[in-house]
Structure 1
Amino acid sequence: MAPPSPPTTLLLLLLLLLPPLLFSFPLIPSSPTCRSYCGNITIDYPFSLQSGCGHPAFRQLLFCINTLLLLHIPSGSYRVLSIDYAFHRLTLNDPTMSDCYSLAPNTSPAHGFITNPSLSKFLQPAPDNVFFLLRCRRDSPLFQLGFPDTRVCGNVSGMGCEDYYRCPAWEAGWRSPAYGTSNPPECCSVAAGIVREVNLTRLRCAAYSSAYSIAPVRARGPGEWDYGIRVAYSVPGDDETGCRACRVSGGSCGYDDTKVRGEEDVDYGVVIQRLCICGGGMDAWNSTTTCESTEISEGFVVKQASMLNAVLGGWLVCATGLLAI
C-alpha cells in the first residue's frame, strides 16, 4: 500500500491531537457578568438584560434599544428613567400620558398601567404615586359607590386635581363643571392603592396623568411636579436572602429556565432552579447555592456533557471518513 499523502498525514495527526486538547480546556464559552448597563442606567439583580440572570419573576421585562431602557408589560412599553436599588423603585415615562402642558385625548390613546397577574405581586405603583384620571364617564367603577356623595377623588401627597387644573394644558377650555354637580369631574386624583392598575378601558376614562413626590421635597405647583410612574418592586424574602449569600461569595444571582420541573409555580409561572453564577470567562461555572459550595447545578453538567458529545461525535465522523480514503 502506498504511503499516505502529506495532506492526509497532517489531517490524521490533527485528529489524533484534538481529543487531548479538548479535555485540557473547559467546554464553556466566555460568560459575561450578569451586571450590565443600558445608557447610564445600571442593570442589576433582580433585573437583567440576559437570559438566566436576575430573578425569574422579572425575566423578559427589560429591553435595551439604542441605549434606551424599556420596560414591557401588557399595557405597553415604557421608558425607564431610573432604578433605585436601595428603595426598590423604578421611575417610568409613558409618552402617551398627559402632563401639565399636554392632555393626551388630543393625541394618541394612553397606555395606562397594566401588568399580568403573576408579575403584579412583585411590581406595583408605589404609594407615593398619584394618578389623575381624566374624563371618566359617569358609569365608571370609580363612581359606583354613590357619586357624587362619596368623595373618591382627593388630594394625595400634596397633589390634587384643583392644583392640576392650574396647568397650561387646561387653558383650552377642556374643563367641565366642578365636582359635586350632576356631571363627573374632568379630573379625579386617586392614590395608587385605590386603583392597583390603570386600565382606562375598565375605568372608562379617556386619559390619565401620573405624578409622584420624593419626600421631604415638595414642589410648589403642578408645573414643578415630577410626572411619571413611580413603581415599587419586591423580591420574595427567601430569594433575597439566598441571593445575598451568593453575592457575598463573589457570584451573580440567576436561574436555569431550560428545565421546567413539574407543575407551574404560583409565583413565577414555572418552577425554575435558582443559580449562583460564579467565575468568569473560560472559568465560569454555576452553583446551586454559593460560589464557596461544591454543588454544581445539574443543568451545568448536562450542558457540558452535550457539548462534549457533539465535539466527539464530529471527531469520530471525520476520522471514519479519512480512514476510508
Structure 2
Amino acid sequence: MTFQDPSFILFTILIIFLQFLAATTSLCRTFCNNIPINYPFAIDDGCGAPQFRHMLNCSATDLFFLTPSGSYKIQTIDYNKKTVVIFDPSMSTCSILQPHHDFIMTEIQSVTIPPSPDTVFVLMNCSIDSPVLNHYRSLCFNFSGHSCDELYSSCTSFKLFHILSNATPPCCFTTYDTVKFMSMNILDCTHYTSVYNVDSLKGVGPLDWLYGIKLSYNLPDLGCERCAKSGGTCGFDVETQGFLCICSTTTNATRDCGNK
C-alpha cells in the first residue's frame, strides 16, 4: 500500500473522520429532541452538576427523569423558575385507571429536586382502616375546596369507585412526604394520581387539572456563570466530582476559559 493508493487515502479519511466524531460527541449535548439541556442538568457524564448525575436519559423521542421506581417522561424544564414537570405513566388520571404505584426518589433527589409545594398527591379509594384516615389523618388537607365526591363523579375512570362501593370511598389530598415515608400498601389506598400548579385550581374541575409531578430544584452558584461567560461549559471531574469548566474537547479549567 502506497501513499497514492486509493485504499490508503480512504483509510486515512476514515481515521480522521472517526477522530472528529469522537471529539464532537465528547462535548456536552445541549438538547434532547426539543428540550434544552442546561446546567445543572446533563445527559452526558461529566457535564452539568454532579448532584444531578445520571438523573436524565435521552431516548430517540423523549427525555426521562430516572428514579429507583422507574423512568418518568419530562414534559417541561423551566430554568428561570427552576422547575421540572414529569409524568408518571403508571398513575391514574381522569381518562385511565391503573393499579397503585409507588413513586420513589433517592435520598439525594429528595433533597436536591423534590416535588414542589404546589404539587398534590391524591390517594384514592382508601379503606376505612387507612392510616391517613385514622392515626395520620392530619396528613390529609383541604385542596382548594375540592372533595372526593367531586373527583369520583367528574372523571370517567374514577366513577368506577362510586359504582363498586355504591358510595363515596375515602380519598386523601396530601404531600410528597406522605408517599415518601409510607408505601401505597401501607396507606391502604388502591390508586393514586398527582396534580401540580394547585394554587390556580380553585373552582376548576378535575377534568381540567394538570396531572403530573412538578419538581423544584435549587443549587448554589459554584462558578458556572463565570465559566459560561468565558465560553466554557459547566461540568465536573467524574472521579473527584470537583467543578470543571469545559473549554474544548481537550482542555478543561477549574474556573473559566479566559486564558485558554
Query: Could you say if the C-alpha distance between residues 82 and 38 of structure 1 is closer, same or farther in structure 2, counting changes exceeding 3 Å?
Result: same
**What TM-score results when the alignment is normalised by the length of structure 2?**
0.79
- C-alpha displacement of 1:293: 5.5
- C-alpha displacement of 1:196: 4.5
Per-residue CA shift, 1:275-296, capped at 9, x if unaligned?
Answer: 11114x5xx41111122257xx
Task: Indicate which of 125, 148, 172 corresponds to 1:135.
Answer: 125
Mapped contact 2:144–2:201 kept (Cα < 8 A)? no
State the alpha-carbon separation in 1 of the partners of residues 43 and 229 from structure 2: 22
**Does residue 143 of structure 2 align to residue 156 of structure 1?**
yes
- Code of the residue aligned with 1:209 in structure 2: it is T
Name the residue aligned to 1:306.
Answer: none
Mapped contact 2:119–2:198 kept (Cα < 8 A)? no
State the alpha-carbon separation in 2 of the partners of residues 246 and 171 from structure 1: 55
**What TM-score results when the alignment is normalised by the length of structure 1?**
0.65
**Does residue 183 of structure 2 align to residue 199 of structure 1?**
yes
- C-alpha displacement of 1:156: 2.3
State the alpha-carbon separation in 2 of the partners of residues 139 and 293 from structure 1: 67
- Code of the residue aligned with 1:188 in structure 2: it is C
Name the residue aligned to 1:99.
Answer: 93
Mapped contact 2:132–2:138 kept (Cα < 8 A)? no
Query: Could you say if the C-alpha distance between residues 65 and 35 of structure 1 is closer, same or farther in structure 2, counting changes exceeding 3 Å?
Result: closer
Name the residue aligned to 1:255.
Answer: 236
Mapped contact 1:115–1:197 kept (Cα < 8 A)? no
State the alpha-carbon separation in 2 of the partners of residues 144 and 86 from structure 1: 41
Query: Could you say if the C-alpha distance between residues 293 and 198 of structure 1 is closer, same or farther in structure 2, counting changes exceeding 3 Å?
Result: farther
Query: Could you say if the C-alpha distance between residues 159 and 75 of structure 1 is closer, same or farther in structure 2, counting changes exceeding 3 Å?
Result: farther
- C-alpha displacement of 1:163: 2.7
Mapped contact 2:29–2:44 kept (Cα < 8 A)? no
Which secondary structure does the structure 2 equivalent of 1:142 belong to?
A: helix
Task: Indicate which of 218, 223, 241 corresponds to 1:242.
Answer: 223
Structure 2: runs of 5 or more not aligned: 3-21
Name the residue aligned to 1:227.
Answer: 211
Which secondary structure does the structure 2 equivalent of 1:135 belong to?
A: strand
State the alpha-carbon separation in 1 of the partners of residues 105 and 91 from structure 2: 17
Structure 1: runs of 5 or more not aligned: 1-5, 8-27, 179-184, 261-271, 295-325
Q: Using the aligned pairs only, state the percent identity.
A: 37
**Does residue 23 of structure 2 align to residue 42 of structure 1?**
no
Query: Could you say if the C-alpha distance between residues 72 and 231 of structure 1 is closer, same or farther in structure 2, counting changes exceeding 3 Å?
Result: same
- Code of the residue aligned with 2:49 in structure 1: it is H
State the alpha-carbon separation in 2 of the partners of residues 209 and 141 from structure 1: 18
Per-residue CA shift, 1:51-98, capped at 9, x if unaligned?
Answer: 100111111111111221111101111111111111111111112111
State the alpha-carbon separation in 2 of the partners of residues 94 and 198 from structure 1: 18
TM-align CA RMSD:
2.9
Number of aligned residue pairs: 239
Alignment of structure 1 residues 202-213 onto 2, 5 Å: 202-213=186-197
Query: Which 4+ residue blocks in structure 1 deviate beyond 6 angstroms?
Result: none
Larger radius of gyration: 1
